[in-house]
């Protein structure tokens, strides 16, 4: 029986020691820690999370175009993927988790390798 799917959004800051992100780390770490027990408690509903890294979204609209480009270029250089993520990257991961009926209790990094580099 298929019981449905819940997919929450965390962030790579839950698993990285990036200066200035302690509040994000705490909140996103809490989100990630509830995924496995919720998957067990809500079964057969599947519970998963995506954990994006740097994604080019309007969230950074407070930066000038030049500042954003400089910041993104520097960040991309340090990533194994060598680019900043796009909203479609996160949407694809969410679609995967929703459609994969044998995946539950998982946190899927969508961070270009940020948490492994």
Q: How many residues does the chain have?
A: 117
Which ranges in the chain belong to alpha helices (H)? 22-42, 65-77, 87-99
Q: Say which residue the tokens 């408690």 belong to.
A: 41
Catalytic residues: 10
């Amino acid at each position: 029986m298929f019981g449905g799917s819940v997919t929450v959004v965390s962030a790579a800051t839950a698993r990285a020691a990036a200066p200035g992100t302690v509040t994000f780390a705490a909140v996103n770490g809490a989100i990630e820690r509830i995924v496995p027990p919720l998957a067990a408690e809500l079964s057969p509903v599947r519970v998963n999370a995506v954990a994006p890294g740097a994604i080019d979204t309007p969230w950074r609209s407070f930066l000038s175009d030049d500042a954003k480009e400089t910041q993104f270029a520097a960040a991309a250089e340090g990533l194994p993927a060598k680019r900043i993520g796009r909203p479609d990257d996160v949407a694809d991961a969410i679609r995967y988790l929703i459609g994969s009926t044998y995946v539950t209790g998982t946190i899927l990094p969508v961070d270009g390798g940020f948490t492994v580099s």
